[in-house]
Amino acid sequence: MRRENPEVATLTAHTQRAPLPASAAIVIDALARFATDERKARIESVIAGRTRRVIPVLERLSDPHNTAAVLRSADAFGAQEVHVVETAERFVASTRVAKGSERWLDLVCHASTDGCVDALHARGYRVLVAAMDGEIEPAGLAALGRVAVVFGNEHAGVSAAMRARADGAYRIPMRGFVESLNVSVAAAITLSAALAGVVGDLDEGDCEQLRARFLLQSIDHAEQIVHEHVRRMAAAG
């Protein structure tokens, strides 16, 4: 898919999320009564399955279809964060393929490979790239603790800089004649296997922040409702 396609949107703005219009507790108090019981149950179910144990990293992907497909897979399998190493071009994705999945994720953009790896290492993540001679398979990734898995450019793969900085490699076993997979397929297989046995493990503060954010995304005129709620609280003393 070409980047100039009208259904392609720049997603970098989502990496700098606007702060909540009030504390998470106040946002939830203001909005909860406007959400149906079914919607609130769905939000709780999603949060209960979220984890930051495995983070997919997209390094200089060029096809908006692929980036969007990885975002959908991250949301579907419970990965709350996706990190992106941008090129001179901005991070874009097909809105038709993404289906709004970027709204429910934490997207973190980095200007360089070194910056990305440094940030992940600082938080205690091991960084692994996919390679045919990788030491482990996707199902074993979750046992490593905090791990970031890197998916490289569709044509060139991960960069030499990323290979040099990575802490190791993993492999996706294949039984046919092909030696590689489309990056979005590789990401889906990896995340499905790596997170299959992982239950949601976010702390309560993180869960509360997500609960507030998800309500904001779910209700029409949500920020206006929150601001009015805060005004009434202030008036009531």
CB 125 within 8 A of CB 71: no
| Whether residues 149 and 237 fall in one domain | no
| Whether residues 228 and 193 fall in one domain | no
| Whether residues 152 and 45 fall in one domain | no
State mean pLDDT over 58-86.
89
| pLDDT of 153 | 82
Which range of residues forms the domain containing residue 26?
21-50+203-237
Digit-coded pLDDT (tens) for 110-166: 989 999 999 999 999 999 998 888 889 999 998 899 999 999 887 788 999 999 999
Residue 222 within any structural domain of the chain: yes
Tokens of 217: 């995304």
Digit-coded pLDDT (tens) for 9-58: 555 544 446 689 999 999 999 999 999 999 999 999 999 999 999 999 99
| Whether residues 45 and 55 fall in one domain | no
| Whether residues 76 and 93 fall in one domain | yes
Task: Write down the pTM of the prediction.
Answer: 0.86
Distances in Å between the alpha carbon of 16 and those of 9, 34, 105, 106, 213?
Answer: 16, 27, 12, 9, 14
| Whether residues 94 and 123 fall in one domain | yes
Digit-coded pLDDT (tens) for 171-224: 999 888 887 788 899 999 999 999 998 888 999 999 999 999 999 999 999 999
Tokens of 125: 């993540």
CB 103 within 8 A of CB 17: no
Listed residue (135, 76, 147) closest to 105, CA to CA: 76
| CATH classification of the domain holding 76 | 3.40.1280.10
| pLDDT of 12 | 52
Residue 15 within any structural domain of the chain: no
| Whether residues 135 and 221 fall in one domain | no
| Whether residues 120 and 218 fall in one domain | no
CB 208 within 8 A of CB 24: yes
Residue 231 is given by DSSP the state H
Residue 4 within any structural domain of the chain: no
Distances in Å between the alpha carbon of 230 and those of 207, 212, 220?
Answer: 22, 15, 17
The number of distinct structural domains making up the chain is 2
| pLDDT of 97 | 44
Residue 16 within any structural domain of the chain: no
Helix (H) or strand (E) holding 56: strand 54-59
| Whether residues 128 and 73 fall in one domain | yes
Digit-coded pLDDT (tens) for 95-113: 554 446 778 999 898 989 9
Q: Return the bridge partners of 157, or none.
A: 153
| Whether residues 87 and 194 fall in one domain | yes
| pLDDT of 70 | 92
What is the C-alpha radius of gyration for the chain, rounded to an integer number of angstroms? 19
